[in-house]
Amino acid sequence: MSIVAGNTAYLDRKEEAPRGIRGLLFHPAAFGVLLAVALTISLGHWFVGQAKTEITTDQWNRGVIVELMALADAAGAIETADKKSASEKLTTMLKGLPGTDDGAATYRVLRLSGARLLASTQPNDVDDMAPPRRLSRDEKWLFDLGQSLRASVQTQRDEGIYRRRQIEVEELDGGLVRVSLPYFVGEKVTGIVQSERRRTAVAATGNRLLAAGLVIGAYLLAIGALAAVGRERRDKDVTRHKPWALFAVGLVLLTLSAAVYSRSEMGDLTAAYTSLTGQLAGEFSSVKDRLGYLAGQAGVSLDPTMENRWDVDLFRRPFGVIDGDGNVKGAALADKVSEMTDRLGSALRWNWGVGLIILVFFALGYARRLRRTVQEHRSAYFYVMPAMLGMMVLAFFPFGYGILLSFSGQTVLNVSEPLADLMVGFQNYVSILGDFSLFESTAEGAVINYQNFYWTLFITVCWTMTNVAFGVTVGVLLALTLNTKGLKYTNIYRVLLILPWAIPNYITALIWKGMFHQQFGVINQGIQMFGGEPIAWFDGVFSAFMTGLITNGWLSFPFMMVITLGALQSIPADLYEAATIDGATRWQQFRHVTLPSLKPTLIPAIIISVVWTFNMFNVIYLVSGGSPAGANEILITKSYKIAFEEYRYGYAAAYSVVIFFILMFYGVFQTRMTKATEAANA
């Protein structure tokens, strides 16, 4: 403890604190409040801006989708009625759509069978490129898009879950937006309808004035509070004596400003959403009239009594906010609004958390300590910088990404979707750690469920303990033997005994796997030579466990032997002499001289060896492969199987994080224990 205090003594030394106005303005607590509130509000401001932009663009997209869904219904009806005249009728129909005359919107209708462009209002599709025609080679993307939408519809029907979008909204260069969706003849996806048009860039932001006012107000109030406290105790640095009081003031300011901001913006957002929905309802009615008329001209009718099947999300699920007559449904709208505000609210609460961390950092004096440490040891930090950067990129980033992944439901089926959409919270951890179904009852009675985490953990712990015990025992025994005085050819023995360690362990593992083969393996051949029954090594839980243990024992004893041998040779001979003079027996010498002298070397070696063995992937994976039925899987091989055989990346990441925490817990525990024993020895 004294060492730690000695290192940080400089942090507490007297420093000429700036006084007066400047001292107040740059006081860490006030600065902390400023930074925390500014960050919380500006992040919130950004989120609100995003949300506002999103609802505006979403409603715009929904307007296009409503129109295209209506067009798709018409196209389906026209194709059903008569395939031959479909192209002609659709071309006429497209001409009557809004935006075609002035080129504000262009449309395409593609039939997948034969890759035929049935109708188009694209400026290029005239003369010899005029539809109907087969798509040209440059237009392969259009066909592929249609195929992928068709596959999405089919996937949804097969699986009954919504994981692939059935409506594609692409943002092209220059603010152009392309919306494509499938049309059906009966149940079958026959083609796609598509529209391209320019969306005016929406740059909605939150209330700037309110945000700025809140930040400045909170800062001023913080300074005021400081001044008030400071007046009472002018002679002393306030933060050093009353950090908690200032922190409490800061916390109140932060919470208040966040609450005021979020309340006001939520109100704004709700109003905006409601008015946009009203607008959309108007668009829906006009689409219904216009398309209904055009469809009538083409000799088909769009179901007039329909529920609103056109206002849908990207999975073609109806929103249900606008009814078939173009009226807004109040209750449904309220649900949608609260869904949106809940989402924003949770984002804002996270912001508040971030602000809180900053506040703690500054107001409670951590920032000051950090600044002083960096100043004091500037050159030291400079020297470790390259290594720190390297660690960031190579260790901390993948590690952080792994942790992030562990909260997601990423699998091979949704790997192309953004991670933010796949977040499942603690669900992976709950299903790993909260599954206690260790026994299954089957027709043959209760059997152990080998897939359960706790069984695998049990096997891993058994595996680690037996292996380390085996390695240490054999290693120490061999080292003691080699250390015998007057033993000849020691060097040769040493080389021979180190060899298992020197050969790459996967080669050794594969050789042992071959030796355990039931018919041709040398071990069973040996057993048979002495009249025994051959053992089916990989069929029983215990025998398969033994294959791993034997292989890994063979691989791990040389390490322990080398370590022990080194330690043995550094024990001074006078200790043994003194012991002999005192009349100690050989056993007493070993017990009271050799073992205590080995301890400082052996304990770190054992710690390392435990971690290695715990994650000894090669031996388990290559020798028994976890057989029978995954019973001998250890945590790390299990996690590999989940990731690369079951393709559940998020779940496997959670598994790895659990392994990390187990090892970290062990590491901390072990370090404490070692320290305790060292202290007792000292």
Q: Does 57 bind other proteins (CB under 8 A)?
A: no
What's the distance, Cα to Cα, between the start and end of the chain in Å?
Answer: 15
Q: Does 229 bind other proteins (CB under 8 A)?
A: no
The site that binds other proteins (CB under 8 A) totals a number of residues, namely 52
The least distance separating other proteins from the CB of residue 141, rounded to whole angstroms, comes to 9
Stretch of residues binding other proteins (CB under 8 A), selected from 31-39, 262-270, 439-447, 670-678? 439-447
Q: Please, is 280 exposed, middle or buried when counting C-beta atoms within 10 Å of its C-beta (0-12, 13-18, 19+)?
A: buried
Stretch of residues binding other proteins (CB under 8 A), selected from 51-59, 99-107, 253-261, 426-434? 426-434
Rounded to whole angstroms, what are the CA distances from 556 to 456, 564, 657? 22, 13, 26
Rounded to whole angstroms, what are the CA distances from 499 to 444, 493, 506, 557, 564? 47, 10, 14, 11, 17
The least distance separating other proteins from the CB of residue 412, rounded to whole angstroms, comes to 5
The least distance separating other proteins from the CB of residue 629, rounded to whole angstroms, comes to 4
> For residue 172, what are the contacts with CB-CB under 8 A and spacing of at least 6?
178, 196
The least distance separating other proteins from the CB of residue 618, rounded to whole angstroms, comes to 14
**Rounded CA separation 462/343 (Å):** 46
The least distance separating other proteins from the CB of residue 343, rounded to whole angstroms, comes to 20
Q: Which of 536, 568, 575, 584 binds other proteins (CB under 8 A)?
A: 536
Q: Which of 24, 227, 252, 422 binds other proteins (CB under 8 A)?
A: 422
Of residues 554, 548, 551, 549, the one with CA closest to residue 627: 548
**Rounded CA separation 70/309 (Å):** 9
The least distance separating other proteins from the CB of residue 57, rounded to whole angstroms, comes to 24
Q: Which of 52, 150, 197, 288 binds other proteins (CB under 8 A)?
A: 150
Q: Which of 427, 483, 490, 674 binds other proteins (CB under 8 A)?
A: 427
Of residues 553, 521, 554, 526, the one with CA closest to residue 536: 521
Q: Does 413 bind other proteins (CB under 8 A)?
A: yes
Rounded to whole angstroms, what are the CA distances from 101 to 96, 122, 468, 471, 476? 8, 11, 81, 84, 91
Q: Please, is 287 exposed, middle or buried when counting C-beta atoms within 10 Å of its C-beta (0-12, 13-18, 19+)?
A: buried
Q: Does 628 bind other proteins (CB under 8 A)?
A: yes
- Which two structure tokens, joined as six digits, stand for 330? 């109040």
Q: Which of 84, 157, 234, 485 binds other proteins (CB under 8 A)?
A: 157
Which residue's structure tokens are 């779940």? 651
Q: Does 404 bind other proteins (CB under 8 A)?
A: no
Stretch of residues binding other proteins (CB under 8 A), selected from 32-40, 405-413, 467-475, 663-671? 405-413
The least distance separating other proteins from the CB of residue 180, rounded to whole angstroms, comes to 16
Q: Does 292 bind other proteins (CB under 8 A)?
A: no
Q: Please, is 651 exposed, middle or buried when counting C-beta atoms within 10 Å of its C-beta (0-12, 13-18, 19+)?
A: buried
Q: Using CB under 8 A as the criterion, what x/- string covers residues 235-264 for binding other proteins?
A: ------------------------------
Q: Does 163 bind other proteins (CB under 8 A)?
A: yes
Q: Does 176 bind other proteins (CB under 8 A)?
A: no
Of residues 311, 316, 303, 338, the one with CA closest to residue 327: 311
> For residue 566, what are the contacts with CB-CB under 8 A and spacing of at least 6?
601
**Rounded CA separation 526/532 (Å):** 9
In three-state secondary structure terms, 106 is: strand
597-600-602-608 Cα dihedral, nearest 10 degrees:
-170
Q: Does 415 bind other proteins (CB under 8 A)?
A: yes
Q: Which of 409, 475, 548, 553 binds other proteins (CB under 8 A)?
A: 409
- Choice between 444 and 533, CB closer to other proteins: 444
- Which two structure tokens, joined as six digits, stand for 598? 């080995």
- Choice between 78 and 658, CB closer to other proteins: 658
The least distance separating other proteins from the CB of residue 411, rounded to whole angstroms, comes to 5
Q: Does 187 bind other proteins (CB under 8 A)?
A: no
- Which two structure tokens, joined as six digits, stand for 317? 């699920």
Q: Using CB under 8 A as the criterion, what x/- string covers residues 104-143 for binding other proteins?
A: -----------x-------------------x-x--x--x
Q: Does 170 bind other proteins (CB under 8 A)?
A: no
| Amino acid sitting at position 298 | A
Q: Does 281 bind other proteins (CB under 8 A)?
A: no
Q: Does 158 bind other proteins (CB under 8 A)?
A: yes
- Choice between 420 and 581, CB closer to other proteins: 420
> For residue 411, what are the contacts with CB-CB under 8 A and spacing of at least 6?
647, 648, 649, 650
In degrees, rounded to 5, the angle at the alpha carbon of residue 166 between the alpha carbons of residues 164 and 171 is 95
Q: Using CB under 8 A as the criterion, what x/- string covers residues 643-672 for binding other proteins?
A: -xxxxx-xx---------------------
- Choice between 346 and 518, CB closer to other proteins: 518
Q: Does 27 bind other proteins (CB under 8 A)?
A: no
Q: Which of 50, 61, 80, 147 binds other proteins (CB under 8 A)?
A: 147
**Rounded CA separation 630/447 (Å):** 14
**Rounded CA separation 455/447 (Å):** 12
Q: Are 600 and 565 in contact (CB under 8 A)?
A: no
Q: Are 624 and 510 in contact (CB under 8 A)?
A: no
Stretch of residues binding other proteins (CB under 8 A), selected from 245-253, 333-341, 419-427, 576-584? 419-427
Q: Does 408 bind other proteins (CB under 8 A)?
A: yes
| Amino acid sitting at position 255 | T
Q: Does 629 bind other proteins (CB under 8 A)?
A: yes
Q: Are 553 and 546 in contact (CB under 8 A)?
A: no
Q: Does 414 bind other proteins (CB under 8 A)?
A: yes
Q: Ramachandran region of residue 326, left (φ > 0), alpha (ψ -120 to 50) or beta?
A: left
- Choice between 308 and 410, CB closer to other proteins: 410
Q: Are 470 and 619 in contact (CB under 8 A)?
A: no
Q: Does 452 bind other proteins (CB under 8 A)?
A: no
* Touching other proteins, residues 463-522 (CB under 8 A): 517-520
- Choice between 319 and 651, CB closer to other proteins: 651
**Binding footprint of other proteins on the chain (CB under 8 A):** 115, 135, 137, 140, 143-144, 147-148, 150-151, 154-155, 157-159, 161, 163, 408-416, 422, 424, 427-428, 431, 442-444, 451, 517-520, 536, 539, 628-630, 641, 644-648, 650-651
